[in-house]
Amino acid sequence: MSMQAFGPPSTWPSQDLIAFSDEFDLPMTLAAYCSGAFPMPLHDASFDARMGWWSPMRRGIIELDDLRVTKSLLKSARHYTTTIDAAFDEVLERCAEPSRPFGWIDDDIREIFTQAHHEGVVHSVETWDSSGRLVGGLYGVSLWGLFAGESMFHDPERGRDASKVALVRLINELRGRPDGTALLDVQWLTDHLASLGASEISRADYLERLDVALQEPQTVWSALRLPGDWRMQRTA
């Protein structure tokens, strides 16, 4: 059953930012995800608080069967392999590069999510090129039937589709759950995510689905290094 770290959702404001705090630690962060919220720093806001807690009015999700895989992506994927939790620190580092537009991953986020990774509740998916270079990846929070995607990256020179291949590997891992389903949260819908099959649901619908997801078995993650083409063909 979902928690209520920020009080009953009926009392939340009708906006994406539902709370802010100076406190930020792992227990509070996990309680937030179980409540339907996630942390994002308030770097450019007028608040003095350290951390913002967000629960979008329109929540971006990817239904596992809605993933769009183009023929060009299938072809591109044959040049990659994927892994799980093989290079979490590097994936986080690449996602946090200051030069990225709208970067939000600061030292606080890195510390807590690294701790969560060591506790086994945050996982990364890595994409490697044929020379063994890390060219893309993603990471997120895994709690029972929920996977909350946090960030993804790709190398624009060596891995144009590498983050997409990581997403496909992630969805195949989630499809491998005993019930074959999961709630894949991507926070906000963007044009890029929409092109891959993401959609929006209301906050109320998300919280209902979260309540169900948190009662499902925990995802068991595979550490296998798998060819991108095999995983893509299976998805297609």
For residue 35, give the CATH number of its domain: 3.30.70
Contact (CB, 8 A) for 34 and 142: no
Residue 27 located in a structural domain = yes
Residue 191 located in a structural domain = yes
Residue 230 located in a structural domain = yes
**Rounded to two decimals, what is the model's pTM?**
0.92
Full domain range(s) for residue 32: 9-56
3-state DSSP of 124-181: EEEEECCCCCEEEEEEEEEECCEEEEEEEEECCCCCCCHHHHHHHHHHHHHHCCCCCC
The segments of the chain whose pLDDT lies below 70 read 1-3, 44-47, 100-103, 229-236
Residue 1: the pLDDT is 41
Residues 33 and 129 in one domain: no
Of 17, 37, 56, the one marking the end of a domain is: 56
Residue 227: the pLDDT is 82
Helix, strand or coil, per DSSP, at residue 195: helix
Residues 89 and 196 in one domain: yes
Q: What is d(CA 165, CA 84) in angstroms, rounded to the nearest whole number?
A: 12
Tell how strand 122-128 and strand 38-41 pair up. unpaired
Q: What is d(CA 13, CA 191) in angstroms, rounded to the nearest whole number?
A: 26
Angle between helices 162-175 and 228-235 in degrees, nearest 10: 60
Residue 50: the pLDDT is 82
Residues 17 and 107 in one domain: no
Residue 57 identity (one-letter amino acid) = M
Count Cβ atoms below 10 Å from residue 106 Cβ, excluding itself: 15
Residue 74: the pLDDT is 87
Element (H, E) at 28: helix 26-35
Residues 31 and 91 in one domain: no
> Which residue from 115, 138, 122, 124 is spatially nearest to 223, judged by alpha carbons?
124
Residue 131: the pLDDT is 94
Residue 179: the pLDDT is 87
* End-to-end Cα distance, the chain: 33
Q: What total number of domains does the chain contain? A: 2
Percent of the chain topping pLDDT 70: 91
